[in-house]
Every structure is written in structure tokens, then in C-alpha cells.
Amino acid sequence: LRPRVVDGVAQSSPVGLEHLPVLMDRTTVEPPATKEIPGLINVNTAPGVVLRCIEGLTDEQIRAIMEIRGSLTGEQRATTAWLVVEDVLDLDTYIAIAPKITARGQQFTVESLGYGDHVGTVTRLQAVVDLVGPIAQTVYCRDITSIGGRFPVRKGDEEFVRER
């Protein structure tokens, strides 16, 4: 992206802003032997109070991130390159915060209902599953049976399973 000097001759970069999303999607700068994966802030979903934790971002830039991200396509949000491509951040600011941000999440929340028809019981559990690493891990689990055994079967018609 920046000009470089090769054999004493200044040359422009062969990689432009339009190439940045593909480059970031297909490459990494972390060695594969890295065991620990640091926590990153997802700029596509983080609330403003979380974005303020990223040292180097101004309030104006945080507002711009929150306004623009909702209008982007899934393809544009696939990497953090949209911050530069959409002119939300200048290249120097982006380089400074890039190690602290991500555009993808590796944690998912699962809510499950278990029925014991033969005894008429219902159990409802909520779990957070972390997919970082070779094996998925349950990092949080709680029993939420107290909120009831109703759960939408089909979102479109709001049909519910019967209560016990």
C-alpha cells in the first residue's frame, strides 16, 4: 500500500486498497506455532463502549464504525479491511489497531431444550461454545429451565411447542 524503494528506485506498491480484503482473508502474519490466541474485538458487532477500549480510536472514528458497518454487505464485513477501504480509518491508525481487532467471531451461544416425555419434564440449557483451536470447548453453561419450556419451532409463524 505504501511506496517502497527497490535497488534505489522508488516504486508504488502493486497492492492497492481494492486488494486489501482478499489479501487479509487469505494470509496471516502469525506463526502457526502460536499456542495462545489473544482476545480480539469484533468491529462488526462490538458496542461503542467496547470499541472505546481500543487505544488509538477517537470518538468520531468509533461513531463512524458503528454507522457504516450496518450498511455493509457480508462480503465487505468478512475482514477488517473495510475500515480502510470505506475511509473510516487512515492506514497508520489501522496498522496500530489491527492486532487488537477482528471481523469474525469464534464463539457461539447454544440454547437447548430436553424433553422427558415419559416423565413429563423439561430442561433448558444455555451454553457458550468456543471454536478456537482444534477442539470445540464449552466455556460457559447454565441451567435456564426456570424461564420455561416454550421455544419457537418456526420463526415465520411463531408456532410454539406445547408447555408442560
pLDDT in tens, 14-40: 777 887 777 776 776 666 555 566 678
pLDDT range class, residue 104, cuts 50, 70, 90: confident
Q: What H or E segment, with its residue span, contains residue 10?
A: strand 9-11
Percent of the chain with pLDDT over 70: 82
pLDDT of residue 120: 78
* Four-point Cα dihedral 90, 94, 96, 100, nearest 10: 150
pLDDT of residue 36: 62
Distance of CA 60 to the CA centre of its chain: 22
pLDDT of residue 164: 43
Lowest mean pLDDT among 95-104, 129-138, 151-160: 151-160
Cell numbers that stand for 99 in this block: 492486532
Inter-CA distances, 90 with 29, 61, 84, 126, Å = 21, 10, 6, 41
Higher-confidence residue of 99 and 148: namely: 99
Inform me whether the pLDDT recorded for 162 exceeds 50.
Answer: no
pLDDT of residue 92: 93
Inform me whether the pLDDT recorded for 84 exceeds 80.
Answer: yes
* Distance of alpha carbon 53 from alpha carbon 34, whole angstroms: 24
| pTM for this model (two decimals) | 0.56
pLDDT of residue 62: 96
CB 7 within 8 A of CB 14: no
Q: What H or E segment, with its residue span, contains residue 68?
A: helix 59-68
Backbone angles phi, psi at 138, to 5 degrees: -85, 115
Length of the chain (residues): 164
Inform me whether the pLDDT recorded for 154 exceeds 60.
Answer: no
* Distance of alpha carbon 13 from alpha carbon 91, whole angstroms: 14
Instruction: Please provide the average confidence, as pLDDT, over all residues in the chain.
Output: 82
